[in-house]
Amino acid sequence: MANISLPLLSALLWAVGLCLIGGLMTPRGPWYASLRKPPWQPPGWAFGPAWTLILGLAAWAGVRAWDVAMPAQQVDILIVFGVNALFHMLWSPLFFRAERPDWALGEVPFLWASVLAMLVALWPIDRTAALLILPYLFWVTFAARLNLEIVRRNPQPRPFPLQF
């Protein structure tokens, strides 16, 4: 077996971990089936492969940049990928577990900004790596539009669980 580098292993764990957590936090039960969705929404089966490809490209971007980055830039890479992982992991529980598309929509700008931060941080290090982030940025933009449309089509949110 070939030696696998720590950056490559870390990137693979980042991508696989986000895919697994995202999948586990995305139950498509009766509540989701009852939502009114736009006709242009991709079929449910398309989301897994899309996220796998997108996060795989982002992991590749991280490894490419890491291999040529200066130590201070490597810290920046860790920070932007870590912040992105946090915001990436928040969306599905808000949308699917809490059954609050409106709360998930409120989280989207943070997720989108974290993806943009990845692109911006990688650009001076390796422009090809930065460009590998573009599908992620485009997909989150598309997903934000889809989330907005679901909120518009389903205006009655569940009651807030806490009373003030």
Question: Is 162 among the domain residues?
Answer: no
Question: Is 54 among the domain residues?
Answer: yes
Question: Is 59 among the domain residues?
Answer: yes
pLDDT score, position 160: 58
**Model pTM?**
0.84
Question: Is 60 among the domain residues?
Answer: yes
CATH of the domain at 143: 1.20.1260.100
Range from 17-31, 94-108, 116-130 carrying the lowest mean pLDDT = 17-31
Residue 70 in this model has a pLDDT that exceeds 50: yes
What's the Cα-to-Cα distance from 157 to each of 21, 67, 95, 116, 163, rounded to whole Å?
A: 25, 46, 11, 30, 15
Work out the average pLDDT over 144-148: 97
Number of domains observed in the structure of the chain: 1
Angle between helices 6-24 and 71-92 (to 10 degrees): 10
Question: Is 161 among the domain residues?
Answer: no
pLDDT score, position 161: 57
Work out the average pLDDT over 67-91: 92
Q: What is the band of 102 on the pLDDT scale with cuts at 50, 70, 90? A: very high
Write out pLDDT tens, residues 12-38: 777 676 666 766 666 677 889 999 999
Pick the most confident of 87-101, 103-117, 143-157: 103-117
Question: Is 159 among the domain residues?
Answer: no
User: Is the sign of the CA dihedral 70, 75, 80, 85 positive or negative?
Assistant: positive
pLDDT score, position 24: 61
pLDDT score, position 25: 64
- Please choose, from the candidates 54, 66, 43, 77, the residue with its C-alpha nearest in 3D space to the C-alpha of residue 133: 54
User: Which segments of 30-133 does DSSP mark as H helices, in order?
Assistant: 30-34, 47-68, 71-92, 101-122, 127-131
Question: Is 125 among the domain residues?
Answer: yes
Question: Is 11 among the domain residues?
Answer: yes
Residue 147 tokens, joined = 């989330």
- Residue-number span of the structural domain to which 106 is assigned: 6-34+48-153
